Amino acid sequence: MTFLYIISAALFVLVVYFLVSALRLKKAVSGLTQEQFIEGYRKAQLVDVREPKEFDGGHILGARNIPSSQMRQRVKEIRSDKPVYLYCQNSARSARTALFLKKKGYTQIYQLDGGFKKWTGKIKTK
């Protein structure tokens, strides 16, 4: 019986954690479809937060690579007065990066829904 209460409490905590995380993410970043992303990324800072090997394998034309693993050291490379368009492979790293940028005072943060794996637009490879 006690084991059942422990399992129930743990599940409750997990559900609350995921709901709070989802709400924080929704406030930090606006998800855009590929069409919406294409409409605005030329007037914004387009940042690929994947690692350099992934970036070199193919990236959206015009993007610059600032890996999420280096964001704390390189955040000053991103202007806070201009929109920031983020993407990664599937949206997980760009979502974490968006939360980080929000904490640093950035307000115009957008991410590509589904990430690069769903991108069908122009790409550049090395």
Centre a 10 Å sphere on the Cβ of residue 96 and count the other Cβ atoms it contains: 17
State the Cα–Cα distance between residues 109 and 95, nearest whole angstrom.
Answer: 10
DSSP codes, 28-84: H-EEE-HHHHHHHGGGSEEEE-S-HHHHHH-EETT-EE--GGGHHHHGGGS-TTS-E
74 classed as catalytic = no
Pick the catalytic residue: 47, 63, 84, 88? Answer: 88
Q: Are strands 64-65 and 45-48 parallel, antiparallel or unpaired?
A: parallel
Enzyme catalytic residues: 88
